[in-house]
Amino acid sequence: MTGFGLQIEPAFGFDYDDVVRLAGDLRPNGFTSVWVSDHFMLNSGDPERNCMEAWTLLTALAVEVSDVRLGSLVTCASYRNPALLAKIAATIDHISGGRLEVGIGEGWKDIEYEAYGYRFPTAGERLRRLEESLKIIKSLWTQPVANFNGAHHSVNNAVSAPKPVQSPAVPILIGGSRPRLLRIMAEHADVVNFVPQPDPAGYAESLERFEKICGEVGRDFDGIRKTHYLTVLTGRDQAQVEARLERVAERDGMTPEVWQQKRSRAFVGTTAEVVDFLRRYTDLGVTQFMVVFPYLEEAESMKLFADDVIGKV
């Protein structure tokens, strides 16, 4: 059965109560997971806009909502020492009763690095840091004592208890589609998300490359869960779609045409069209979708999904 998760982007401006209310509405609307992105701000030009810290928010949601899984999509490997991140995640896995998934990536938002005092490394260095982080995290979760000496990170006789509730460990989701990252995904991921991919054809190309790499490194391609992240603006009919698009675009200070141009990877269409579009991904082996709805349109969009989409994909 296909699973659906709601992606929360804290940088859009959510209040805590808003997130809790949405998370509480997930299961009644057929959603089985909630995900949060890992950012510190939207941009420096909007200093009053809220952006709650991802792992603090996940900790609270682990207590507030007991009937869905939760995870990061995706946390930036540069922002936290990997040994500390392993401890944070294991703790949340216990708080949640074994409902956590750790999504992780190399990091990309250079203005955020600079604003918060992080050096923004080259793409190659970010990938090497990610790989070292994954080795440390998995070692701390599975070994009595962890030792690792890398170019960027190390641990020396590090003890991490309690271990995660989930066995053998918390599922690791890695997001991306660049060739070098696909190899890291093949070696370390339990779950993959080929972001950014604007259409099923691009997803299929990444999937084909990934399957080849899995064979090269000796991983079972079929044993790795395939997921997809996408933004959806929808309505029951075209008139409702156009009304929502106009409302969302006006809220963002632009025309509907400009909104769609700036969000070229978003799917805009009726719920029937959404079903047809998502089926093209499930035909490729996708078993879970993480959906972002336009800010302040989440509650109504979730209800539309419950009525018209979930159960038909």
pLDDT digits (tens, 9 = 90+) for 77-95: 999 999 999 999 999 999 9
The whole-number pLDDT of residue 264 equals 85
What average pLDDT does the structure give for the chain?
Answer: 96
Residue 282 has pLDDT above 80, yes or no: yes
pLDDT at 200 over 80: yes
pLDDT of residue 190: 98
Is the pLDDT at 197 greater than 80, yes or no? no
Query: What pLDDT does residue 45 have?
Result: 87
- At a CB cut-off of 8 Å and minimum separation 6, what does 182 contact? 176, 206, 209, 210, 213
Average pLDDT over residues 185-196: 94
Q: How confident is the model at residue 60 (pLDDT cuts 50, 70, 90)?
A: very high
Give per-residue pLDDT as tens, 158-173.
999 999 999 999 999 9
Query: Is the pLDDT at 196 greater than 80, yes or no?
Result: no
Whole-angstrom Cα Rg for the chain: 19
pLDDT score of 34: 98
Q: Is it the case that residue 194 has pLDDT exceeding 80?
A: yes
pTM confidence score: 0.96
Does 1 score more than 90 pLDDT?
no
- Name residues whose C-beta falls within 8 Å of residue 248's C-beta, 6 or more positions apart in sequence: 233, 259, 294, 295, 297
Whether 198 has a pLDDT exceeding 80, the answer reads: no
Residues 2-32: tens digit of each pLDDT: 999 999 999 999 999 999 999 999 999 999 9
Give, in degrees to the nearest 5, the angle at Cα 161 between 156 and 167: 110
pLDDT digits (tens, 9 = 90+) for 111-126: 999 999 999 999 999 9
Q: For residue 177, what pLDDT band results from cuts at 50, 70 and 90?
A: confident
Condensed to tens digits (0 to 9), the pLDDT of residues 233-274 reads 999 999 999 999 999 999 999 999 999 998 888 999 999 999
Domains of the chain: 3-233+266-308 (3.20.20.30)
Mean pLDDT of 102-109: 96
